[in-house]
Amino acid sequence: MGNNVLYIVVPCYNEQEMLPTTTARLVKQLQLLQEAGLISEESRILYVNDGSTDETWTLIEKYCNEHEQVCGVKLAGNVGHQNALVAGLETACDKADIIISIDADLQDDINVMSQMIEKYNQGYDIVYGVRRERKTDTWFKRNSALSFYKLMKKLGVKSVYNHADYRLMSRRAVKQLLQYNERNLFLRGIVPLVGYRSEKVYYDRSEREAGESKYPLSKMVSFAVDGITSFSIKPVRMVFTLGILFTLIATAILIYVLIAYFSGRAVSGWASLILSIWFIGGCILIGLGIVGEYVGKIYIEVKDRPRYNIETKILK
Ligand code: UDP
Ligand code: MG
């Protein structure tokens, strides 16, 4: 019997359709891992209910009664996937030696957990689950995700390609991660900053079996914007460069206008004028918007509000 205590942290937002299968499969997986001697009997599944409006919490309570291995935390409201995950990590890290986080829809292959734990035993503190291909995602999701990873890389943000939030972390890695106190959370960017030895484990991603994606386009976009603006100030620099470029162009135009004036060729059209006013106006607004995004982030960080509030805990 292994003596590593494993906690599987699962954030859940309106997952009543998924929970029955998820629970059955995770409980089974825990048993298998125990039998293989990889983890101890105190290992648990920890559901974090992220302010669901459906029967998710009732179900979690029910499974906590039925299964020795299931625990639950109920957050007082919806705080979003990343914050719910942090709530789970923070709750689990007092008891667990290793923590694996996974989405409630189990699109990520739970059978690679044993490989993850083996890597941990070989001395790795962080093991990333990486998707081999994105066959099961829609064309749009696949391509938008791909360009996002590329953009992140260009902007100098360290992140693991095709890795979502399916990963194993040792207790000390989680403790270290929790030292990153920012409210604008983008775990995929922060975990690599923790810097302990890491490894990757590859798997194929399956389709969501029940319920629908909790990441509509609007949430995906704001997630991506968070990811970029929390890690890189390059967009602000780009605005600055653009400003310089425009000043140079304006100087060139000024010279042209002066030459035209003194050679007696009066400028007749206002079209170019109107056009440039609109264009420059647009550029200024974009620039303001980008700067505003950062100012907004500072505002949120400065308030230093708690990332989540726990209402109830069922721990064993
Ligand atoms: N989730 C959450 N809070 C939210 C939105 C999502 O805890 O506000 C959870 C959700 O229950 C799931 C995970 O985050 O366990 C990922 O969501 P989903 O599978 O819908 O995302 P997708 O796989 O479509 O990117
Ligand atoms: Mg999913």
Q: Residue 308: which pLDDT band, with cuts at 50, 70 and 90?
A: very high
Does 105 contact ligand 1 (Cβ within 6 A)? Answer: yes
Structure tokens at 144: 């938008």
Does 214 contact ligand 1 (Cβ within 6 A)? Answer: yes
pLDDT at 109: 94
Give the CATH architecture of domain 6-216+308-314. Alpha-Beta Complex (3.90)
DSSP 137: S
Give the Å distance between the CA of 105 and the centre of ligand 1. 8
Distance separating alpha carbons of residues 125 and 252, to the nearest angstrom: 57
pLDDT at 1: 53
Q: Looking at the CA of 56, which ligand is closest?
A: 1
107 CA: nearest ligand 1 atom: 23
Neighbours of 278 (CB within 10 A): 10
Taking alpha carbons only, the member of 291, 108, 136 closest to residue 202 is 108
For the stretch 163-182, pLDDT in tens is 989 999 999 999 999 999 88
Cα distances from 256 to residues 193, 248, 263, 266, in angstroms, run: 51, 13, 11, 11
For the stretch 22-45, pLDDT in tens is 999 999 999 999 999 999 999 999
Cα distances from 152 to residues 39, 155, 268, in angstroms, run: 36, 5, 46
Neighbours of 44 (CB within 10 A): 21
pTM given for the model: 0.85
Residue range 182-189: average pLDDT?
87
Domain locations in the chain as residue ranges: 6-216+308-314, 234-303
pLDDT at 95: 93
Does 104 contact ligand 1 (Cβ within 6 A)? Answer: yes
